Amino acid sequence: MATAPALARALDTALDARPTAITVDLTDLSFVDSTGIRVLINACRRAGSEGCSFTLRAPCRSVLKALRLTGVDRLMVVDEVPQPR
């Protein structure tokens, strides 16, 4: 929740540049709450409306579980890089 505004600003800035694709690297993220999920959904929707693909890359198991439970994995591409055991 504390970092969601910074993430939203960063994604808005990236989308303002009109890219054809955005990949959000979640490698170092160990937790996501509903506020962070909302930011990702809003950015994905904006990207889609602007013809930009939106991918989440390398979520850890707990973040991937949250993305699946909330259905986010059905709204955007989640690139599951194998995680060490």
Are the beta carbons of 62 and 69 closer than 8 angstroms? Answer: no
Q: What is the CATH number of the domain that holds 68?
A: 3.30.750.24
Residue 5's CB is within 10 A of a number of other CB atoms, namely 11
Give the pLDDT score at 69: 96
| Domain that residue 50 falls in | 18-79
* pLDDT of 85 higher than 90: no
Q: Which is nearest to 37 in space by CA: 83, 80, 78, 79? A: 78
51 domain residue, yes or no: yes
Q: Is the pTM of this model over 0.95?
A: no
Q: Is residue 12 part of a domain?
A: no
Sheet holding 21-25, edge to edge: 21-25, 53-57, 77-79
How many whole angstroms separate alpha carbon 49 and alpha carbon 35?
Answer: 21
User: CA geometry: angle at 78 spanning 35 and 9, to 5°?
Assistant: 40
Q: What is the pLDDT of residue 83?
A: 55
69 within a domain of the structure (yes/no): yes
Instruction: Centre a 10 Å sphere on the Cβ of residue 69 and count the other Cβ atoms it contains.
Output: 10
Per-residue model confidence as pLDDT tens digits over 24-82: 999 999 999 999 999 999 999 999 999 999 999 999 999 999 999 999 999 999 998 76
